[in-house]
Structure 1
Amino acid sequence: MTTTTPTPAPIDVSRVTPTPNAPALAPIDLAPPIPTASAPAPALAPVDLPRPIPTAPAPIDLSQPVFGAAASFPSSLDPARALAEAAPALAAHLSDFHRHPAGLPDLRAAVAERYTRRGVPTTPDHIVVTSSPQAALALAIGLFCAPEDRVLVENPTHPDTLAVLRSCAVRPVPIPLGGNGITPADLPGRFVHTAARLAHFSAGYQNPTGHLPSAEVRLAAAESARRSGTWLIADETAIEPVLDGVAPEPFTLGVPRAAAERIVTIGAPSQTHGLALRVGWLRATPRTAAALARHQADAGLGASALDQILTTNLLHQADADLPAHRAQLRERRAALESALTRLAPEWSWRHPAGGLTLWVDLGRPAAAALTTHAANAGVHITPGSRFTLDPGAHDHHIPLPFTLPAPALTEAACRLATAWHQTLSTPRSPDRHMWTV
């Protein structure tokens, strides 16, 4: 038997029924009662509003040296001022239809003048401007190397260097850095036995360790490269800032001419003027520089005119800016070292005479785990394993830049100490090896 639901009687109203007719709908619960003077609206029941969720502390980025509003610029890097000063030169360049594959003449002259003042006579013909120090390294590798050629490289070294080597499809061969850097007596054998086509050495404060190559290391590397027919890249991107003592000597200073002719130097303003300036350069013999410039032109590469003009102006003003910049970094280095000494006494590091980073030894291989806990605590860091050719190596190190203001560095150290205690209290999962049969 089929049951049918009775159809409700039609209601003589529509969606446009005037408000006075609404009381007629109340008995069938289609409208709430209309408040009147004699029947005021019922009081609303109290509602418990949710409590505001506490906001997480603003993250602090120590994953790389940071310049900018948080870290403050040198005075000549005030963006509005720098752009205003660059405008006339940029306007003139826009009406110049000449190609400059080696870079704008004014910048090449400014870079050459700085090398000459450091004791290495240099003309603009020695200089090739690129879009970054990484582009400079890639340009040199592209000219000197073929895929699968061996390239000697310090271990640990900066991740950007390793990324360039991978992108160029060459085979990096590590030169291990000990507690005091490179051992000069080890170099001749490494050059001969590896048959490396090219070698990459830090000529300034090595990133990340902060080691400065001695005159003995420079001479041993240059002579070893000459005897083995290896091209040598001397990376001077970290010759500044000098915080203690005197500035590093140029890599080619005191090197015999025959050996110096196989040395190509890389430089950039990024250590003192920030990563936003996409400019680097190479210094080589005029013949090698011309070959590098042709190789860059063939690839359609090079730095923008604006970046080159800005860098030219900044180099002219660098001597006025650097003293205050160095003093500021010394203060920040001291603040970070003091906070770490107080809050993480089991950690250790070499007091860096220059550069931007502490290479901190945690005392145990826990950098990867600490990186995770630190991110949860609001600090972004980079594990030491990112700086090495060996998977899992240097997991007992972390690099900590000191470019942020002192209060931010002190707060970062407090958060890192909390994250370190969490790291120590979290059991490590056993290593598991998976085998495929």
Structure 2
Amino acid sequence: MADSNPSPRADRVGRTDRTLGSRQLAAMLPDPAGARPAYRHLAQAISELILDGRIALHVKLPAERELATALSTSRATITAVYDLLRESGYAHSRQGSGTWTALPEGRTPRGVTRLLGPQDTAIDLARAAPGLPEQTLIDALVQVTPQLAEHAHTPGYHPYGLPELRAAIAGRFTQRGLATVPEQILVTSGAQHALTLVMGLLFRPGDRVMVENPSYPNALEAMRRARLRTVSVPVTDTGWDIEIIESTLRQAVPQLAYLMPDFHNPTGCLMPEHERVRILRAAQRSGAWLVIDETLADLALDVPAPPPFASHAAPGGTGQVITIGSMSKTHWGGLRIGWLRAPARLVTELAGQRVATDMGGSVLDQLLALALLARSGELLPPRLEQMRLQRAALAEALTEHIPRWTWQPPPGGLSLWVDLGEPVASALAERAMDYGVRIESGAYFATDPGIFEQRLRIPYTTPPDTLREAVRRIATALADGLSPSSTTRRPHWVA
């Protein structure tokens, strides 16, 4: 809960990295001329951004005069906005210290509430996260129980990960075409944890990071919280523009490039081999670190599973390539098992970084992961066939109920990136809630505000009958009539 007094950290007004610039905030807000009264409209938008985490807590808001200028409105309007934010608990002030963001008493950040999942009967299409068959989990628990009993006689701390799990993950990389030893593997609490560790060790506020647009929202949020400056490169229905990527690496000189070349989330695109080679060469010339997210690489539905991105590097050329992955999409997010592959020395440094936060992952979860990975040849094919059937059911339902929508069938992954033909995605997502469907606008996957309002990401991770019913409800909501300005709803959290 938010304390009524300013955070001690908030009092350090000399720290410019805790100050939100007026132009930066203005770019995130709607036009104040678009609704009346304007001050309530703006205060609501700022409170939504705070709950969503897009404006961090304990951050100093711009001075009233500066924000008024950036929004082309009166200072009196901004004064009223800040007054309302303070009254509702989303801000606090201290004489001479400015106005700082806060979390109101009794409110929970939406990233937390969304992780808890639906609390009602709504169909959840906001998260592309498959479940794990109950019997599979029971069998794995029975299998690992004796092993867990053996570990009970040890301290249980494994900052690098269980040695046998590191060896198994290294073996999988080697089988896929990238020779790897266990010393190059760090087991993490999911791919997001791996990315956060890398950013915390290698990069500092203000460093540039090249990201795809659209991209994975939680990765973008982690970069915002690390106060990195994003430089975006487009991913369209036909894939990546490699010349733009090469130009960005050459001219913007980012310290980091974060890419999802394997069934990209949300577009589903698969990067061709020759384009991977060009990116590796361009990154090597620029000196940028490459973080390659392979979370979806095993979910190949219509093509063979791709080899690791780093396997296309010239001999000895993988020194600045970090590969991250997890079991969240192929098995179950509840395991919280991920990993990264990097040079052995960097893995040692990252292990030191993670000790400051969690000292090591759950032994039970790692034993379960080891058991499930050993059965991948048995478990993955039926999972892929299930996804093909669900993808077909979703496509058929969309064609039947909303034939004017279009999409490119993805060769793998977990969702369709659907073009609605008009910028009504946020309005439709808001209306769909009234019909019992949770879904997020394409705008949530954008690196910059105001784009992808004509897109929806629709996962096919639920049974066919559920998908058909969800599409029927969305079509009914759409038939009610929407306009692009009918809502200012902002997205929450997706997987």
Q: TM-score, with normalisation over the residues of structure 1?
A: 0.81
d(CA) in 2 for partners of 1:428, 1:169: 30
Q: Note if contact 1:383-1:399 (Cα within 8 Å) is conserved in structure 2.
A: yes
Deviates further, 173-182 or 206-215: 173-182
Q: Note if contact 1:199-1:233 (Cα within 8 Å) is conserved in structure 2.
A: yes
Residue 63 of structure 1 aligns with an amino acid whose one-letter code is: A
d(CA) in 2 for partners of 1:413, 1:111: 38
Matched, 1:282 2:340: yes
Residue 341 of structure 2 aligns with an amino acid whose one-letter code is: R
Paired position in structure 1 for 2:124: 61
Matched, 1:231 2:289: yes
Change (3 A) 1:249 1:127: same
Residue 114 of structure 1 aligns with an amino acid whose one-letter code is: R
Q: Note if contact 1:199-1:231 (Cα within 8 Å) is conserved in structure 2.
A: yes
SS of the residue corresponding to residue 371 of structure 1 reads: helix
d(CA) in 1 for partners of 2:164, 2:215: 32
Superposed structure 1 runs of 4+ greater than 4 Å apart:
426-431
d(CA) in 2 for partners of 1:400, 1:161: 19
Change (3 A) 1:359 1:292: same
Deviations along 1:174-224, one digit per CA (max 9) or x if unpaired, are 111133221222222201221211110113110000011111221122111
Matches within 5 A, 1:13-412: 58-68=121-131, 73-74=132-133, 78-97=136-155, 99-412=157-470
Q: Note if contact 1:74-1:321 (Cα within 8 Å) is conserved in structure 2.
A: no
d(CA) in 2 for partners of 1:158, 1:98: 33
Structure 2 residues not aligned, in runs of 5+ = 1-119, 489-495
Q: Note if contact 2:158-2:361 (Cα within 8 Å) is conserved in structure 1.
A: no
How far residue 299 of structure 1 moved from its aligned partner, in angstroms, is 3.7
Change (3 A) 1:95 1:246: same
Change (3 A) 1:427 1:330: closer
Q: Note if contact 2:158-2:360 (Cα within 8 Å) is conserved in structure 1.
A: no
Q: Note if contact 1:184-1:216 (Cα within 8 Å) is conserved in structure 2.
A: no
SS of the residue corresponding to residue 80 of structure 1 reads: helix
Change (3 A) 1:430 1:412: closer
How far residue 258 of structure 1 moved from its aligned partner, in angstroms, is 4.1
SS of the residue corresponding to residue 67 of structure 1 reads: coil
Structure 1 residues not aligned, in runs of 5+ = 1-56, 432-437
SS of the residue corresponding to residue 141 of structure 1 reads: helix
How far residue 99 of structure 1 moved from its aligned partner, in angstroms, is 4.0
Residue 423 of structure 1 aligns with an amino acid whose one-letter code is: G
Change (3 A) 1:429 1:273: closer
Paired position in structure 2 for 1:48: none
d(CA) in 2 for partners of 1:208, 1:429: 25
Deviations along 1:48-99, one digit per CA (max 9) or x if unpaired, are xxxxxxxxx942111112433xxxx357x63322222222222222212374
d(CA) in 1 for partners of 2:195, 2:221: 11
Residue 310 of structure 2 aligns with an amino acid whose one-letter code is: T
Residue 337 of structure 2 aligns with an amino acid whose one-letter code is: V
Change (3 A) 1:302 1:397: farther
Q: Note if contact 2:424-2:484 (Cα within 8 Å) is conserved in structure 1.
A: no
Deviations along 1:302-330, one digit per CA (max 9) or x if unpaired, are 32111111111110011101111111111
SS of the residue corresponding to residue 334 of structure 2 reads: coil
Q: Note if contact 1:378-1:415 (Cα within 8 Å) is conserved in structure 2.
A: yes
Residue 204 of structure 2 aligns with an amino acid whose one-letter code is: A
d(CA) in 1 for partners of 2:159, 2:310: 25
Residue 191 of structure 1 aligns with an amino acid whose one-letter code is: L
SS of the residue corresponding to residue 391 of structure 1 reads: coil
SS of the residue corresponding to residue 333 of structure 2 reads: coil
d(CA) in 1 for partners of 2:224, 2:299: 29
Percent identity among equivalent residues?
A: 40
SS of the residue corresponding to residue 477 of structure 2 reads: helix
Change (3 A) 1:63 1:429: closer
Paired position in structure 1 for 2:31: none
d(CA) in 1 for partners of 2:238, 2:377: 31
Higher helix residue share: 2
Change (3 A) 1:210 1:121: same
- Which has the higher relative contact order, 1 or 2, with Cα contacts under 8 A spaced 6 or more apart? 1
